[in-house]
Amino acid sequence: MVRYKGLFKSKRKSDNPEWGLFSTKGAVGLEVLHDPPNAELDIIFIHSLTANRTRTWTHQNGTFWPNDLLANDIPNARIMTFGYELDLLHFTSTSTLSTNRLHDHAQSLSYALVSQRIDCSARPIIFIAHGLGGLICQQAFILSNCVDGLWAISSSAIGVVFMGTPHYGSSLSYYGEKLVNCVRRKGDIMHVAALERHLGPNDLQRVAGEFQGMLRRGDLAVNVFCFYEMEGVNDVGKIVEEEAAVLRGCESLGLTGDHCGMARFEGFADEGYGIVREIVRRWMKEARKDGNGMVVDKSSVVSGGSSCWESGLVGELDSWELFWGK
């Protein structure tokens, strides 16, 4: 496993955002943020539990980096953000639990994405997912491999960026509980047991296990980069520890900030943003052109077990040193 801990350290100060819940009501489905006529790539953002498809990626200074930053730096990419309804803000112990669980959110994402890509089904895809959004993304890959009409998602995907997504064992069971502890100051608006019933810890473990199996078997050839939070929340600690946030055999890096702050970038000079941008650019560069546009040369993509660094997908160390201004 390739890790950059101690090699590249972000100088960005922690946002230390006020922990709270933000309603997802109405902010569901795919929203197209940037749609250039010459698009060569689709980038899909998937949010986590405590925010929505906009708030998850918005810095406290108002910078919504998928649209305000990335669309400028990668102008030939169509950028979309996916929202699913898990309205914890108005959820109480007596509320009727939603039936829209992990599978349903992933199914909604998959069919919405296929619908958006009718005229460009071979266009490469990169997913950027935070927290639970990473597991929704994984479930979408599982569906893509077994449902007619969805296969183009996994066959066109060239990379996934996971930000604070729990991948292993007990971390999946405690994920919701830790989030609840972070927002208890808001009052008794939900209970751990109710949240776990909604998420289904067994479902989370099943999805994570199936996705990792797809990588090991080579059923899915896709670049993977895992980010983990470097700061904890007062009295709670880190929501997802490094060991749980990093898939074995995949590249990883710590980002300054707690579980929410790690996904929010201040501006173009934010080093965390620069890392994500360069990962996307690198994966685009590794793709090749054919007569129908940009497609993926997946012969060199590593599917678990060994690092993408070793296969040359991330490039030479010197190029990273130049990027970081060594």
* Cβ–Cβ < 8 Å for 40, 238: no
In a domain, 297, yes or no: yes
Mean pLDDT along residues 82-104: 58
Q: Whole-angstrom Cα distance, residue 193 to residue 91?
A: 13
| β partners of residue 290 | 293
Per residue in 261-273, pLDDT tens? 999 999 999 999 9
pLDDT at 291 over 60: no
Reported as a pLDDT band with limits 50, 70 and 90, residue 325 is very low
Greater pLDDT, 97 or 35: 35
Q: What is the pLDDT of residue 182?
A: 64
In a domain, 254, yes or no: yes
In a domain, 157, yes or no: yes
In a domain, 8, yes or no: no
CATH code of the domain covering residue 267: 3.40.50.1820
* Cβ–Cβ < 8 Å for 3, 245: no
Q: What percentage of the chain exceeds 90 in pLDDT?
A: 51
Q: What is the pLDDT of residue 199?
A: 55
Mean pLDDT along residues 108-127: 95
In a domain, 187, yes or no: yes
Pairing of strands 77-83, 125-130: unpaired
Task: Domain count for the chain, please give it.
Answer: 1
pLDDT at 115 over 60: yes
Reported as a pLDDT band with limits 50, 70 and 90, residue 31 is very high
Mean pLDDT along residues 43-52: 87
Residue-range definition of the domain harbouring residue 33: 29-323
pLDDT at 177 over 90: no
Token digits of residue 158: 């060239």
Greater pLDDT, 138 or 91: 138
pLDDT at 160 over 60: yes
pLDDT at 15 over 50: no
pTM above 0.75, yes or no: yes
| Low-confidence winner among 87-91, 111-115, 157-161 (lowest mean pLDDT) | 87-91
Mean pLDDT along residues 141-147: 94
Q: Whole-angstrom Cα distance, residue 22 to residue 14?
A: 20
In a domain, 318, yes or no: yes
Per residue in 207-263, pLDDT tens? 889 999 999 999 999 999 999 999 988 777 888 999 999 999 999 999 999 999 999
Q: What is the pLDDT of residue 173?
A: 62
